[in-house]
Structures are given as structure tokens and as C-alpha cells.
Amino acid sequence: ESDVLLFLPGGFGTIYELFMTLELRRAYEFVKPIIIYNSCGYFDKLLEFLELSYDDGFSDRVMKDYYYICSDSKDCLDYIDRYYRVETKKRKKEQK
């Protein structure tokens, strides 16, 4: 029911939910923005792993379009604003 899925530093449950969310997005279950808040580089190693999975061909690079990485709150809020401005424009065009 949320408008945005924001992942903050956390443990196994957070990482499980992040990967589950990415898979649901890949399967077109929803199109909400997914934000990884990389505070103090917390997710750096996880992001390196994702890059490795893209480089080695285990994951499609298009997955990178499904999430946004930020490390400060202003960037995070700006991204949400941009995302919904674009989505609003798309909906208005579709209604015409």
C-alpha cells in the first residue's frame, strides 16, 4: 500500500525483502520506486555483488533500472519527486 519502497541499513530480513522486492518488480507485480539508502556505504558490498551478477550474466542489467541508490535524504526526496512527476505525466498522456 506504500508509494515508495525505501530500504535502510538492516539485517538479513531487510536484504531478503530487498531481493524479494526486486524479483516482484522484475516480474511486473508493481512499478513503485525502490530506493536503497546507502548510508555510510552500508550496502557497498551488496551493490558490488549485484554488479558481479550483472557482469557474469546471472542477472540482466535492466535490473539496475528498477532501483535507485542514494546516500543522503535530499537526494532520496528529489528522486521520489522526479519519479512521481514523470509518472504523473505518463498517466495524463494515457488519459488523452
How many CB atoms are closer than 10 A to CB 36? Answer: 23
Q: pLDDT tens for residues 19-63?
A: 999 999 999 988 899 999 999 999 999 999 999 999 999 999 999
Rounded distance, CA 96 to CA 91, Å? 9
pTM for the full model? 0.87
C-alpha cell at 1: 500500500
- What does the mean pLDDT of the chain come to? 93
The pLDDT of residue 85: 87
Among residues 23, 69, 73, which one has the least CA distance to residue 47?
Answer: 69
* Cβ-proximal residues to 22 (8 Å cutoff; 6+ apart), any chain: 34, 63, 66, 67
